[in-house]
């Protein structure tokens, strides 16, 4: 099994060298072909990102970036990772996958198990990796997707470090990928039925083929939690007493979590991941790839954490060094509260 590497988002050729210099060894990206845009526009996202700024604009640009990445010893992985597709959409995806394979892409990242099966059967050259959108959270799930043809499994943020270790022991022949930085959603990706960065006002334009929706700074699912709610039983009577207290406490905790979610990470678990042979540590941020200086800093920070992991002989001293070097990423790190951790057992010895 190869050494652990850093996976970073990319959507423009100009970003490549800086990210490789910062420590990235793999890249994931999106590209939406004209055939898809002419039929669906951006109303139906082909790769979980329904706006152009998160995607390469042309296959030629993808091809140039793939060649340059290979010259630098890096891999390029294409996202075809919406949670599910119709048969008609498959008929557009397979030609797109062939085009991506023809320019040397190293892997496809998919969520839809039917698409996984088709790509594995076609054997176009790139490996086929299962996205966190497939919600593979245990060894039985890995066994299933491995039997269909998966080469790597990207685990959801919510999987505990101890559970990752168990899956690694059970399936040493399957590459595992985990999230390291940065934007933690408080919902489970593969169980979410909303769209990223769309507010209700967006839909007036979202359905026009070829026309990108307006890009906004939040997802409309967040709006549901922006106001303090009132609580009622099914018969309409108000909730009161201890139940009301618990519901209000839960809501206030959620609002704190929501405010701090962008600071989430699993840096304290990096040493464990490297020792158990996790293949890739993912830096999140396809929606923010225009902020290249910040992205390079995040990749560089993760690379320094990996160096610390190799220098420290035990988990306790490693965690102390990480928190001394890289907090406050969040006030939760200072206070010992684990809202900012991808996994609740990330800091355990």
| Domain that includes residue 34, residue range | 5-219+264-340
Last residue of a domain, one of 260, 286, 320: 260
Q: Rounded to whole angstroms, what are the CA distances from 315 to 73, 274, 298, 306?
A: 31, 12, 22, 13
Last residue of a domain, one of 260, 277, 312: 260
Those residues whose C-beta lies under 8 Å from the C-beta of residue 251, and which sit 6 or more positions away, are 225, 228, 229
Query: Residue 285: which CATH number?
Result: 3.20.20.70
pTM of the model: 0.83
Question: pLDDT by residue for the chain (349 residues), tens digit each?
Answer: 469 999 999 989 999 999 999 999 999 999 999 999 899 877 777 888 767 778 898 999 999 999 999 999 999 999 999 999 999 999 999 999 999 999 999 999 999 999 999 999 999 999 999 999 999 999 999 999 999 999 999 999 889 999 999 999 999 999 999 999 866 666 677 777 766 555 444 444 444 454 555 444 455 555 555 556 788 898 989 999 999 998 888 777 766 666 554 567 888 899 999 999 999 999 987 765 557 888 899 899 999 999 999 999 999 999 889 888 875 454 545 544 555 677 778 777 7
86 and 229, same domain (yes or no): no
230 and 312, same domain (yes or no): no
Query: Considering its fold, how many domains does the chain have in total?
Result: 2
130 and 242, same domain (yes or no): no
Give the whole-angstrom CA distance, residue 281 versus residue 266: 9
231 and 93, same domain (yes or no): no
Q: What angle do CA 251, 342, 82 make, to 5 degrees?
A: 90
Last residue of a domain, one of 235, 260, 285: 260
According to the model, what pLDDT value does residue 306 have? 96
Extended strands (E) in 127-232: 127-130, 152-154, 175-181
121 and 102, same domain (yes or no): yes
Q: Is residue 214 part of a domain?
A: yes
According to the model, what pLDDT value does residue 202 have? 45
According to the model, what pLDDT value does residue 226 have? 54
53 and 111, same domain (yes or no): yes
According to the model, what pLDDT value does residue 217 have? 47
238 and 157, same domain (yes or no): no
């Amino acid at each position: 099994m190869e050494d652990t590497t850093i996976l970073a988002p990319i959507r423009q050729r100009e970003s490549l060298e800086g990210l490789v210099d910062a420590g990235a060894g793999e890249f994931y990206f999106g590209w939406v072909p004209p055939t898809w845009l002419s039929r669906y526009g951006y109303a139906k996202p082909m790769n979980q990102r329904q706006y152009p700024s998160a995607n390469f604009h042309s296959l030629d640009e993808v091809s140039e970036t793939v060649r340059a990445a290979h010259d630098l010893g890096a891999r390029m992985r294409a996202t075809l990772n919406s949670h599910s597709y119709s048969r008609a959409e498959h008929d557009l995806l397979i030609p797109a996958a062939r085009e991506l394979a023809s320019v040397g892409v190293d892997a496809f990242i998919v969520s839809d198990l039917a698409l996984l099966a088709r790509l594995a059967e076609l054997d176009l050259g790139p490996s086929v990796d299962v996205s966190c959108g497939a919600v593979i959270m245990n060894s039985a799930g890995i066994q299933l997707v491995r039997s269909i043809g998966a080469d790597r499994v990207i685990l959801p943020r919510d999987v505990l470090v101890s559970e990752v270790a168990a899956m690694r022991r059970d399936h040493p022949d399957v590459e595992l990928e985990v999230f390291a930085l940065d934007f933690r959603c408080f919902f489970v990706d593969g169980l979410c039925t909303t769209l990223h960065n769309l507010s209700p006002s967006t839909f007036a334009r979202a359905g026009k083929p070829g026309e990108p929706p307006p890009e906004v700074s939040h997802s409309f699912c967040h709006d549901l939690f922006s106001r303090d709610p009132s609580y009622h039983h099914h018969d309409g009577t108000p909730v009161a007493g201890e139940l009301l207290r618990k519901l209000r406490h839960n809501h206030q905790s959620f609002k704190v979590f929501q405010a701090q979610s962008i600071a989430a990470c699993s840096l304290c678990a990096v040493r464990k991941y490297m020792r158990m042979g996790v293949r890739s540590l993912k830096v999140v941020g396809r929606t923010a790839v225009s902020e290249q200086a910040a992205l390079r800093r995040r990749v560089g920070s993760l690379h320094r954490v990996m160096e610390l992991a190799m220098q420290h002989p035990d988990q306790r001293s490693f965690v102390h060094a990480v928190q001394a070097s890289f907090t406050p990423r969040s006030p939760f790190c200072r206070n010992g509260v684990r809202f900012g951790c991808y996994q609740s057992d990330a800091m355990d010895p």
